[in-house]
């Protein structure tokens, strides 16, 4: 039956994508077959296709744009298959559940789950492209051409759908639930958790589109904040996709990096994230990434350190356990101040010098010491919306005056607490981190610059600056797409440009793309719809420009990165083990004395 469902979905989707006007009855498919498809069969496939795609897309595009993990992406505008996957593999099964069971009271809760998942899928599509088909999508009445809905109208549809679906879930009927649910399990509480996910996602989307839909967003956010009990309020309610150690059902990263023996450069710590970790002594560096195990592979740092025994300074070399990788080693033509200088990241740096994604491994075929642990475990779940994120979203809403039972500061601290608890970081480390300037509420954080001194990891005293920073850090590793959305709508993070972009552009660098281009299939097979989309983007001739802004995004003036002052710096790595030269042997670290001098 699953094969039959897949065949039907593919045929329907091909008709939609090809703009074919044939009658449904001419397809040689028995429409009654849809009534035999259970909600479980349709929705589990939809769940897996969406989460597998987003997980794989982290590697191909989102990790690099999020400045979390360096995976070698080059900031292109190709949509990477999200259009086909969403409309065919994710939304069409949902559509069949709605058509088949929408009028059957015994299936009400399961239909609402389908609608919640539909809203989630559309929230990804609209944030990727802007105008998209929604009202006429996956509808056999519109086959010759499919119009595009405006960005605003899609967001309104998403918000209203989440509100309505959550309200219609009947928690007094726990028997009306998915018998198998890869998101929340099959216990009687699963429908309660789906309701909480819908409301928390509604808050998240309301915050995202607060610029383009200020009144609508505020209304939805206030309604959610006034019904806080029906939001995600505990780690056990985190929305996540479960995986299992069965071939085909493992976490996609396990499949890519372990089972298929990935041999290219491994995913490594992004240098901007590295600078942030070092600026605030963030212990999550060891939870997110593995340190370099081989001493000879570690980065050899030159440092100038005082002594407790005299007033001389020592120039010393020693090795450090972590190292971040820039998005590109390319230098811009205007950075002539670097000419003739020694690039500190170009000296004796190998692939094995960079800190790797936790659990990636350092042995043959990327084998970790314990392959059942770490972020590349076959059973590692994919996080969709966590308890920590829920509290940070509430912190943002409270900071904007949109309600809540607690202050923005309380939600903020609870979000950090939840994140540290998830990563099993000690309370002592957590509390020390929260007490630091820039992290502590109301304080200013002066961070280090990156290695060419063009960006820095400052955190302003402004509450929203702190909240956005913690949202960014919490989105590691699964929610890099959400970082892309966060940065476009807030510009809160001082991301450096990519100096080797993978798209034709007038400058030799590019900031994060503002959107993805519509796929070629849409241009060729639905030209009327494509033109409709261009009109709703602002009357464009095409959509190849990576900097076409979407309505939810904050207005942003692109910096001339070619003209910014530059200078090499390794300050963010220095004093790793302490401020004095005696701290090195005390930590068991060998060093080489290069010279001694008096300042």
Percent of the chain with pLDDT over 70: 92
Same domain for 342 and 221, yes or no, is: no
Q: Is the pLDDT of residue 291 over 90?
A: yes
Same domain for 219 and 150, yes or no, is: yes
* Average pLDDT of the residues in 375-379: 91
Cβ atoms within 10 Å, residue 555: 7
Query: Confidence band (pLDDT; 50, 70, 90) for 364?
Result: low
**Distance (Å, rounded) from C-alpha 536 to C-alpha 41?**
36
Same domain for 206 and 280, yes or no, is: no
Same domain for 153 and 96, yes or no, is: yes
Angle at 221 between CA 219 and CA 227, to 5 degrees: 105
Query: Confidence band (pLDDT; 50, 70, 90) for 15?
Result: very low
Q: Tell me if 539 is assigned to some domain.
A: no
- Enclosing H/E stretch for 69: strand 69-70
Same domain for 117 and 184, yes or no, is: yes
* Average pLDDT of the residues in 589-597: 98
Of 63 and 25, more confident: 63
Question: Minimum mean pLDDT among 22-36, 102-116, 214-228, 508-522: which range?
Answer: 22-36
Same domain for 188 and 335, yes or no, is: no
**Per-residue pLDDT, 414:** 99
**Per-residue pLDDT, 219:** 99
Same domain for 67 and 132, yes or no, is: yes
**Per-residue pLDDT, 23:** 31
In eight-state DSSP terms, residue 445 is B
**Distance (Å, rounded) from C-alpha 465 to C-alpha 442?**
11
Whole-number average pLDDT of the chain: 92
Q: Tell me if 500 is assigned to some domain.
A: no
The domain boundary residue, chosen from 372, 404, 436: 404
Backbone angles phi, psi at 325, to 5 degrees: -115, 130
228-261 per-position pLDDT tens digit:
999 999 999 999 999 999 999 999 999 988 877 6
Same domain for 101 and 18, yes or no, is: yes
* Average pLDDT of the residues in 521-540: 95
457-470 per-position pLDDT tens digit:
999 999 999 999 99
Same domain for 263 and 225, yes or no, is: no
* Average pLDDT of the residues in 414-422: 99
Q: Is the pLDDT of residue 46 over 80?
A: yes
* Average pLDDT of the residues in 157-183: 98
- Sequence-distant (6+) residues with CB within 8 A of 31 are 24
For CA atoms 401, 404, 405, 407, the dihedral sign is: negative
- What is the secondary structure of 115-135 as a DSSP string? HHHHHHHHHHHHHHHSSB--T
**Per-residue pLDDT, 102:** 96
The pTM (predicted TM-score) of the whole model is 0.93
Q: Tell me if 540 is assigned to some domain.
A: no
Which domain range does residue 335 map to? 259-380+569-597
**Per-residue pLDDT, 262:** 75
In eight-state DSSP terms, residue 594 is E
**Per-residue pLDDT, 282:** 99
**Per-residue pLDDT, 12:** 36
**Cβ–Cβ under 8 Å, residues 581 and 306:** yes
- Enclosing H/E stretch for 277: helix 271-279
């Amino acid at each position: 039956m699953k094969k039959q469902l897949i065949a039907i979905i593919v045929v329907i989707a091909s008709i939609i994508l090809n703009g074919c006007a044939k009658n449904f009855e001419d397809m040689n498919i028995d429409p009654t077959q849809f009534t035999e498809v259970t909600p479980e069969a349709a929705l589990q496939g939809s769940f897996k296709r969406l989460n597998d795609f987003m997980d794989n897309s982290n590697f191909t595009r989102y990790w690099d744009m999020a400045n979390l993990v360096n995976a070698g992406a080059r900031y292109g505008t190709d949509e990477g298959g999200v259009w086909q996957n969403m409309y065919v593999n994710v939304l069409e099964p949902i559509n069949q559940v709605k058509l088949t069971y929408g009028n059957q009271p015994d299936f009400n809760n399961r239909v609402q789950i389908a609608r919640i998942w539909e809203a989630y899928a559309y929230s990804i599509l609209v944030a990727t492209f802007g105008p998209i088909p929604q009202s006429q999508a996956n509808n056999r009445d519109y086959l010759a051409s499919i119009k595009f809905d405006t960005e605003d109208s899609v967001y309104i549809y998403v918000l209203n759908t989440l509100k309505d679906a959550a309200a219609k879930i009947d928690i007094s009927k726990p028997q009306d639930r998915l018998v198998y649910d890869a998101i929340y399990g099959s216990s009687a509480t699963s429908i309660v958790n789906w309701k909480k996910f819908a409301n928390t996602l509604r808050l998240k989307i309301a915050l995202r589109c607060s610029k383009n839909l200020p009144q609508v967003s505020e209304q939805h956010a206030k309604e959610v904040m006034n019904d806080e009990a029906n939001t995600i309020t505990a780690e056990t309610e985190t929305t996540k996709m479960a995986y299992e150690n069965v071939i085909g059902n493992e976490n996609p990263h396990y499949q890519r990096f372990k089972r298929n023996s990935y041999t290219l450069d491994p995913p490594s710590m992004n240098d901007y994230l590295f600078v942030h970790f070092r600026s605030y002594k963030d212990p999550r560096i060891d939870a997110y990434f593995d340190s370099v195990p081989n001493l000879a592979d570690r980065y050899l740092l030159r440092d100038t350190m005082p002594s407790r025994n005299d007033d001389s300074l020592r120039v010393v070399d020693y090795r450090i356990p972590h190292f971040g990788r820039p998005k590109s080693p390319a230098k811009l033509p205007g950075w002539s101040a670097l000419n003739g200088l020694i690039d500190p990241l170009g000296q004796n740096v190998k692939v094995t010098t960079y800190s790797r994604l936790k659990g990636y491994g350092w042995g043959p075929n990327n084998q970790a010491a314990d392959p059942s642990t770490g972020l590349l475990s076959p059973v590692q779940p994919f996080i969709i919306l966590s308890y920590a994120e829920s509290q940070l979203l509430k912190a943002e809403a409270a900071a904007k005056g949109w309600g809540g039972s607690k202050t923005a500061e309380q939600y903020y601290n609870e979000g950090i607490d939840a994140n540290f608890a998830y990563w099993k970081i000690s309370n002592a480390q957590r509390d020390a981190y929260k007490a630091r300037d820039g992290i502590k509420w109301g304080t200013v954080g002066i961070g280090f610059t990156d290695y060419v001194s063009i960006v820095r990891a400052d955190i302003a005293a402004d509450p929203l600056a702190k909240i956005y920073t913690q949202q960014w850090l919490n989105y590691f590793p699964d929610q890099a797409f959400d970082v892309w959305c966060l940065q476009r709508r807030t510009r809160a993070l001082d991301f450096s440009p990519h100096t080797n972009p993978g798209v034709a552009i007038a400058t030799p660098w590019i900031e994060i793309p503002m959107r993805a281009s519509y796929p070629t299939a849409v241009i060729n097979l639905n030209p009327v719809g494509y033109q409709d989309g261009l009109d709703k983007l602002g009357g464009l001739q095409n959509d190849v420009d990576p900097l076409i802004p979407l309505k939810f995004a904050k207005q942003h003036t692109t910096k001339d990165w070619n003209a910014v002052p530059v200078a090499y710096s390794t300050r963010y790595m220095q004093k790793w083990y302490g401020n004095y030269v005696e701290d090195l042997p005390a930590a068991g670290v060998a060093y080489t004395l290069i010279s001694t001098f008096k300042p």
